[in-house]
Amino acid sequence: MDEEFRKWLLIERLKWSLKRRFFVRFHAVLLLLGAVLAGWTVNRLLFVAGVDSMLIRHPIGVLAAYVGFLIGIELWIRYSGIREYVNYRKSKELLEPEGFRQPDRTGSEYWPIDSVPVVDGEGCLVVLLIALAIGLVFAMGGYLIVTAADLFAEIVFELLLVAGLIRGIRRIDLLGLTGGIPRITLPALAIALTVSILFGLWARHVHPQAKTIAQVVAEEVDEYRAARDARAQTRRR
């Protein structure tokens, strides 16, 4: 059994075990709420301090949210009860769970997408803004809630490696807190940062006077209504 396959199998066992011992999705929601609060607080403080540019505030807010998320992981490690399993006897309950069946590694899990709405003509920009907001929220945490077991399995796997309870697998450290940064969170950070920067660039170009997302949306709605009224008057003529 090669190292990569053994690591995958151990994490699958940890996922199976953790889902039966902890409310992993509820815990993930709490972590994300803490992250959102941290990001919002930093964004608000910057705004009050006179930083009007969303291109500056929002990426900093995203990074602050991620730091808050990592702090939440540290708190989860300390207070969730997982430390009770970081010893030789108890770790076997996680790594060798009764009733576990090895899943098919070739299988894939997909986020269900039944249809993609197509918007033609007027109203398209408003829908894109809504989709952008939903995409940002989902990127920051939606898929982490769906795959909460994967997140906590990575954390526990790192803890067991550090404690020397898993042998024969090399540990790859990432900068972070106790167990390193869980790799599953890095795509969310990258997407959220990209979206916040692109939105800031677009807002600065199209709505240079706007200082908040609410002002951007309000200006978009006003422009849409003005264009709609102008078309209505043209048809009457």
The answer to whether residue 132 is domain-embedded is: yes
Using CA atoms, how far residue 13 sits from 8, 80, 106, 162, 177, in Å, is 9, 19, 16, 18, 24
> What is the total count of domains within the chain?
1
- Are 136 and 32 contacting, i.e. CB atoms less than 8 angstroms apart? no
**Residues 23-70: pLDDT tens digits?**
999 999 999 899 999 999 999 999 999 999 999 999 999 999 999 998
Between CA 215 and CA 217 the distance in angstroms is 5
Q: Is residue 34 part of a domain?
A: yes
Q: Alpha helix locations (H) across 22-53?
A: 24-48
| Rounded distance between C-alpha atoms, residue 62 and residue 41, angstroms | 11
Q: Hey, how many other C-beta atoms are within 10 angstroms of the C-beta on 46?
A: 18
What residue numbers bound the domain in which 137 lies?
A: 3-100+121-236
Report pLDDT digits (tens) over 116-172. 343 334 445 555 655 665 565 555 566 677 778 888 888 888 888 777 777 766 554
Does residue 109 belong to any structural domain of this protein? no
pTM for the full model?
A: 0.75
- Top-confidence residue, 144 or 14: 14
User: Considering the domain boundaries, does residue 80 fall inside one?
Assistant: yes
105 lies in some domain: no
pLDDT at res. 138: 59
Mean pLDDT for the chain?
A: 78
